[in-house]
Amino acid sequence: MAEQALRHIPVMLNEAVEGLAVREGGRYLDGTFGRGGHARAVLSRLGPHGRLLLMDRDPQAVAAAQKAFADDPRVSIRHANFSTLAEWDETAEGLDGVLLDLGVSSPQLDEAARGFSFMADAPLDMRMDTTQGESAADFLTHADEREIADVLWTFGEERFSRKIARAIVERRGESPITRTGELAALIERVVGRREPGKHPATRSFQALRIRVNGELDALQRGLDAALERLNVGGRLSVISFHSLEDRAVKLFIRDHSGRVQGSRRGPPVAAAPALLAAVGKAQFPSEAEQAANPRARSAVLRVAEKLPQGGHA
């Protein structure tokens, strides 16, 4: 199956790891282990006194990490959302680098039973951490029409959000929507085929996934936590896959860069102390990588470095 070939291909592997500027004796955190492509590359650059901390909110990813690295004394593993990285005692000594590979992982998409994809009929779950929280089906059962429409518009930029929300509420009046196939078929009936090469349910599924997993809130808290724990000179390397994520990362780096903020219509706002400096410009996957791994096509990598207090961007 062609999809299976994509399962273990880490996106922008060399660029993301190069962005960390790994030192042999450094201490690094991969907050989104997935299946460990980036983690293995970081570990290969560490010496015997280096440390690699691994986090993932997905129990299956944590199990894969334990199977691969449980016997390596340089590695510690934690089942948790990267947004809580500052609460982990292992990070208290400071970090020389934090890597985040955002969004849904290939294994999550490829396993139909997880409910992330409309390509196969399965329970409408979408939780990255299957041990807690409500599923997408749960959300669609209790949310009112306006809340559903707001989620589809805000997190999916779905132009037909109101029509889809109305159809969902009408449909659940007959019976709950509990499967991916049901939801995908309903959305296709409402909006039709409007974008060549893109299923009409794509934006809605993305929006529900982001809402169910609280992804944008987790990202903001995770960026704050990473900045708190990074040592001076430590690097933040973040791969995003859609504009909402990338905008959040871009603004976070800008807002901590010490630049004067404000608009042309108003007085400038005093700049906060510079805490981060962008390292180069945003990077994108090469044409060769996009051809080899279509899921890399929307990726954007941003790297920043922690500055000393009162440093200069």
283 in a known ligand binding site: no
56 in a known ligand binding site: yes
CA–CA separation, 230 vs 43, rounded Å? 18
| pLDDT interval class at 265 (50, 70, 90) | low
Helix axes 202-213, 215-229, angle to 10 degrees: 50
66 in a known ligand binding site: no
Residue range 34-50, pLDDT digits in tens: 989 999 999 999 999 99
Residue range 201-212, pLDDT digits in tens: 999 999 999 999
Exposed, middle or buried by CB within 10 Å (0-12, 13-18, 19+), for 133?
Answer: middle
What pLDDT does residue 4 have? 39
101 in a known ligand binding site: yes
Tokens standing for 260? 């004067």
| Averaged pLDDT, 160-186 | 96
Q: Where are the beta strands (DSSP E) in the chain?
A: 27-30, 51-56, 75-79, 95-101, 230-240, 276-278, 300-306
From the list 200, 196, 139, 191, the residue with the least C-alpha distance to 164 is 191
Quick check: 301 and 16 in contact, CB under 8 A? yes
SS3 64: helix
263 has pLDDT over 60: no
Exposed, middle or buried by CB within 10 Å (0-12, 13-18, 19+), for 156?
Answer: buried
- Identify the DSSP state of 196: T
102 has pLDDT over 60: yes
CA–CA separation, 95 vs 42, rounded Å? 13
CA–CA separation, 88 vs 229, rounded Å? 10
Residue range 133-143, pLDDT digits in tens: 999 999 999 99
38 in a known ligand binding site: yes
| Averaged pLDDT, 163-189 | 96
| Averaged pLDDT, 107-124 | 81
This prediction's pTM? 0.90
3 has pLDDT over 70: no
| Averaged pLDDT, 110-135 | 87
